[in-house]
């Protein structure tokens, strides 16, 4: 079986190669460059060190390696999407788009189609049920990354392999240390990769500029301060507001009047909701519900967290409405809600949050 292993130089993808070799496979290693060079300045990940480590892994395990570029595709599918969403006052998810459109989209079209499987270092698993492949959660619930895979489709999930999905993070690091891999103690990457070492606000400022506006207390209407543009703030944000007497949380944004509304306290009633509307819902493996009346018990996430929230879903036209069993914080339009079965094992699909309850 021909396997393409996507290796970034981090500990997780490095151990993927070891696991595949242990299982008797001889993967071809691919390092994907996704930084972007444009007329306004250079944006890149610290790729040279990553490539050096990946090259070492390839030599250690006797694997063929290719460094491929998806600069332009990443800009068109991920960076532009992020800028547009922020400009509209939404909360984007670049990592989710990168998985769907780049790693398992453009890469597949250019190189992956020559292989039987694509292996990655995601903390996820697949489950075979009734002859079909389902995306399912990892052994390590803290590191589980199925949320970021919630937008992939059946053709993609049926071709994926997750060699470390049945391992704890501690076990992955132990294997890396035992094998003397240079990434064994390397810290996990944080943030959005295309930014490299550039500050997120500096990146947004480069493309959207600044536009002074008011910070207003939601309950009283009092003006508490000023901001440089609503696009620098996200729903649920606590830090970076520059207000005293907090904690203050961003509750909503008025994009037409450039106002950011905040509320004081750790858990005021205004921060929470129990209803999440999902538009454009897409099933990963198949539509397991069809046209139904009543409710379907589910678990779900509206962001990448170790915990699942339980509730039920109902269908209203083309809209799927989630009713949560408990109040949840920071429901943000533009973000994705990812739905799982009631046992939090199988990932069913996802839709974009269409409200800010």
Provide the annotated binding site for ATP.
6-13, 32, 121
Q: Please report the DSSP string for 70-138 in residue order.
A: -HHHHIIIIIHHHHHHHHTT----HHHHIIIIIIIIIHHHHTGGGSSEEE---S-EEEEETTEEEEE--
* CA-to-CA separations, 181 to 12, 55, 118, 154, in angstroms, rounded: 11, 12, 22, 34
Q: Please report the DSSP string for 289-319 in residue order.
A: S-S--S-EEEEEESSS-S--EEEEEEEETTE
- Separation of alpha carbons 193 and 45, rounded Å: 6
- Our answer to whether residue 63 is catalytic in this structure is no
- Separation of alpha carbons 61 and 22, rounded Å: 10
List the catalytic residue out of 63, 106, 193, 347.
193
List the catalytic residue out of 63, 98, 106, 347.
98
Binding-site residue numbers are 6-13, 32, 121
* CA-to-CA separations, 141 to 100, 138, 151, in angstroms, rounded: 22, 6, 19
Here the tokens at position 28 are 């071809």
- Our answer to whether residue 347 is catalytic in this structure is no
CA-closest candidate to residue 63, choices 113, 110, 124, 119? 119
Q: What is the largest CA-CA distance in the chain?
A: 66
Helices 169-178, 11-22: axis angle to 10 degrees equals 70
List residues with catalytic annotation: 98, 193
């Amino acid at each position: 079986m021909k396997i393409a292993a996507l290796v970034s130089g981090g500990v997780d993808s490095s151990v993927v190669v070891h696991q595949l070799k242990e299982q008797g496979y001889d993967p071809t290693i691919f390092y994907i460059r996704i930084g972007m060079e444009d007329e306004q300045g250079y944006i890149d990940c610290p790729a040279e060190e990553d490539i050096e480590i990946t090259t070492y892994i390839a030599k250690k395990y006797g694997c063929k390696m290719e460094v491929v570029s998806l600069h332009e595709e990443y800009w068109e599918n991920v960076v532009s999407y992020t800028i547009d969403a922020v400009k509209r006052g939404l909360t984007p998810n670049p990592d989710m788009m990168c998985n769907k459109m780049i790693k398992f989209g453009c890469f597949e079209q250019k190189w992956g189609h020559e292989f039987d499987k694509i292996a990655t270092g995601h903390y996820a698993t697949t489950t075979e049920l009734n002859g079909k492949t389902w995306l399912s959660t990892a052994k390590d619930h803290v590191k589980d990354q199925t949320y970021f895979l919630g937008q992939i489709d059946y053709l993609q999930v049926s071709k994926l392999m997750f060699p470390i999905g049945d391992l704890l993070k501690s076990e992955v690091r132990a294997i890396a240390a035992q094998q003397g891999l240079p990434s064994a103690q390397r810290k996990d990457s944080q943030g959005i990769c295309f930014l490299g070492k550039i500050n997120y606000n500096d990146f947004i400022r480069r493309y959207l500029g600044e536009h002074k506006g008011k910070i207003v207390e939601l309950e009283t209407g009092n003006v508490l301060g000023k901001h440089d543009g609503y696009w620098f703030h996200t729903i649920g944000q606590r830090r970076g507001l520059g207000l005293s007497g907090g904690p203050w949380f961003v509750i909503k944004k008025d994009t037409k009047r450039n106002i950011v509304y905040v509320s004081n306290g750790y858990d005021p009633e205004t921060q929470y909701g129990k209803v999440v509307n999902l538009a454009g819902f897409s099933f990963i493996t198949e539509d397991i519900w069809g046209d139904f009346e009543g409710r379907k018990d589910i678990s779900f996430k509206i962001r990448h967290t170790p915990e699942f929230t339980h509730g039920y879903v109902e269908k209203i036209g083309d809209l799927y409405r989630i009713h949560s069993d408990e109040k949840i914080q920071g429901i943000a339009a533009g973000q994705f809600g990812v739905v799982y079965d009631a046992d939090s094992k199988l990932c069913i699909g996802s839709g974009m949050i269409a409200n800010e309850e």
